[in-house]
Amino acid sequence: MNKRETATLLTHAAEMAMRYVSEASERRVAPAEAALAALQRFHEPFPESGCNPEEVLAMLDEIGSPATVATTGGRYFGFVNGATLPASLAANWLAGAWDQNAALRIMSPVAAELEEVVIRWVCEALGLPLDCHGGLVTGATMANFTSLAAARYALLAREGWNVVEDGLFDAPPIEVMVGAEVHASLLKALNMLGMGRKRVTLVEADGQGRMRAEKLPKLSPRAIVCIQAGNVNTGAFDPAAPICDAAHEHGAWVHVDGAFGFWAGASPRYRHLWNGFEKADSWATDAHKWPNVSYDCGLAIVRNGEALRACMGISAAYLSPGTRREPMHHTPESSRRARGVEFWAALKSLGRSGLAELVQRTCAHAQRFAAGLRAAGFDVLNDVVINQVLVSFGDASKTQEVIRRVQEEGTCWCGGTVWQGKTAMRISVSSWATTDADVDQSLAAILRAARGSGD
């Protein structure tokens, strides 16, 4: 393609994307059956010869766009998926054109610089020490992995064991404590680190999923205590202050899985929930959830930067160690995309007050849902402390039927779960784009599905 053809192609891509963005809040949230069926058209034998990029793009828009889930509109309440802020999306386009490899400063000075800025801004917003270190990863799963790798390294190093050099064979055992309502991805991170899902001690949790601090077993200096800021079902926060105090008294490491709840700490109104979490040793969070940064973007923050670099850093003759922070020495990946660009754009466009307001607004929407569901006589199972609502419409089959109808009808999208033995519909308000009108429209659709599903 010559320059003019390339410019035309990019203009067409921008037009398609703008149309998609403007329609996302109007269309049904889950794709229609016909759109799903059309995906079969992608399944052709690997073409012998190439295709004009204009045709490639047209096919992607024609088949791909309708088969997306409209998570960027205001009526997607599934999982804890954030939308994308306009500044983040726009930055994503520009960053796509830049196509930077964020591994090393010399490969991308701008990527390296923006990473430093966002990590510092996040620490400022959350009241974490400004000399913490961090890395931008795919999501909270890898942020948990990265932080826990640093924890494992630091605790074993204190015992005189270098896990980077000597591995885990014959290493002094590490003990790991997690709450009974730990997120499954944290267990996956432990398993990838050779610390075994079944080897953990499960600490009793209460009816909201909060770890019971008084049930923590006796801690040793070789213990990692994993606590949660925001349970994926209820949004509940573990009692961080007493847990951190008890753990640190014995030299243990406290790690926080704050995939989305972390961001409540950026809001003066919800700051009380964050109380004590700032005392931890490491934190994992997602920027693609509550802050509405484009997918994918997670963040690991570790107080002990030396431990992080010891287990994530690599050296080779052709890799200069650099004199400043080098991104690749803080994450499992070496080559990777420049996630800091969209992250910076989102935070710069929001500012501290905008971030707090985003948290508060989405929590208010969750309260609006809960009030409407209670008023209609349905059982809200959780204390709606942040942006998560769990609602039961009766027994398991009735609730599952309501969820099925809601998803099929298309006004909004909510998923299901089983909370401490009870089947529930989960409503997670994580999109900047959700309005009061979206909540009312979605509530009406949910109530129609509930009333129409029979008893």
Ligand X SMILES: Cc1ncc(COP(=O)(O)O)c(C=O)c1O
Interface residue with ligand X among 183, 255, 336, 426 (CB under 6 A) is 183
Interface residue with ligand X among 141, 304, 382, 442 (CB under 6 A) is 141
Cβ 232 to ligand X, closest distance in Å? 4
Q: Is 136 in the site for ligand X (CB under 6 A)?
A: no
Is the Cβ–Cβ distance between 402 and 415 less than 8 Å? no
Q: Please identify, using beta-carbon distances, which residue of 147 and 185 lies nearer to ligand X.
A: 185
Q: What is the contact mask toward ligand X in residues 235 to 264, using x (rule: CB under 6 A)?
A: ----------------------x-xx----
- Alpha-carbon 263 to chain mean position: 11
Cβ 167 to ligand X, closest distance in Å? 26
Q: Please identify, using beta-carbon distances, which residue of 183 and 222 lies nearer to ligand X.
A: 183
Question: Which of the stretches 42-50, 193-201, 224-232, 359-367 binds ligand X when contact is defined by CB under 6 A?
Answer: 224-232
DSSP 8-state code for residue 78: S
Tokens at 163, concatenated? 């896990």
Cβ 228 to ligand X, closest distance in Å? 6
Question: Which of the stretches 8-16, 138-146, 388-396, 430-438 binds ligand X when contact is defined by CB under 6 A?
Answer: 138-146
Question: Which of the stretches 134-142, 194-202, 216-224, 306-314 binds ligand X when contact is defined by CB under 6 A?
Answer: 134-142
Q: Please identify, using beta-carbon distances, which residue of 257 and 438 lies nearer to ligand X.
A: 257
Q: Please identify, using beta-carbon distances, which residue of 255 and 365 lies nearer to ligand X.
A: 255
Sheet holding 415-419, edge to edge: 379-380, 388-392, 422-428, 415-419
Q: Please tell me whether residue 9 adopts helix, strand or coil conformation.
A: helix
Cβ 233 to ligand X, closest distance in Å? 9
Give dist(CA 102, CA 341) in Å, integer: 10
Q: Is 428 in the site for ligand X (CB under 6 A)?
A: no
Tokens at 295, concatenated? 């997918």
Q: For residue 423, which phi and psi values (nearest 5 degrees)?
A: -70, 135
Q: Please identify, using beta-carbon distances, which residue of 145 and 161 lies nearer to ligand X.
A: 145
Q: Is 185 in the site for ligand X (CB under 6 A)?
A: yes
Q: For residue 436, which phi and psi values (nearest 5 degrees)?
A: -60, -40
Q: Is 447 in the site for ligand X (CB under 6 A)?
A: no
Q: Is 80 in the site for ligand X (CB under 6 A)?
A: yes
Give dist(CA 259, CA 284) in Å, integer: 6
Q: Please identify, using beta-carbon distances, which residue of 176 and 450 lies nearer to ligand X.
A: 176
Residue positions counted in the chain: 455
Is the Cβ–Cβ distance between 258 and 284 less than 8 Å? yes
Give dist(CA 4, CA 188) in Å, integer: 48
Q: Is 298 in the site for ligand X (CB under 6 A)?
A: yes
Cβ 417 to ligand X, closest distance in Å? 11
Cβ 297 to ligand X, closest distance in Å? 9
Interface residue with ligand X among 104, 128, 232, 287 (CB under 6 A) is 232
Is the Cβ–Cβ distance between 236 and 208 less than 8 Å? yes
Burial 256-268 (b: 16+ CB within 10 A, else e): bbbbbbbbbbbbe
Number of residue whose CB is nearest ligand X: 139
Cβ 138 to ligand X, closest distance in Å? 7
Nearest CA among 276, 272, 233 for reference residue 256: 276
SS (H, E, C) 26-86: CCCCCCCHHHHHHHHHHCCCCCCCCCCHHHHHHHHHHHHHHHCCCCCCCCECCCCCCCCCH
Is the Cβ–Cβ distance between 136 and 341 less than 8 Å? no
Q: Please identify, using beta-carbon distances, which residue of 156 and 193 lies nearer to ligand X.
A: 193
Binding residues (CB under 6 A) for ligand X: these are 79-80, 139-141, 183, 185, 228, 230, 232, 257, 259-260, 286, 298
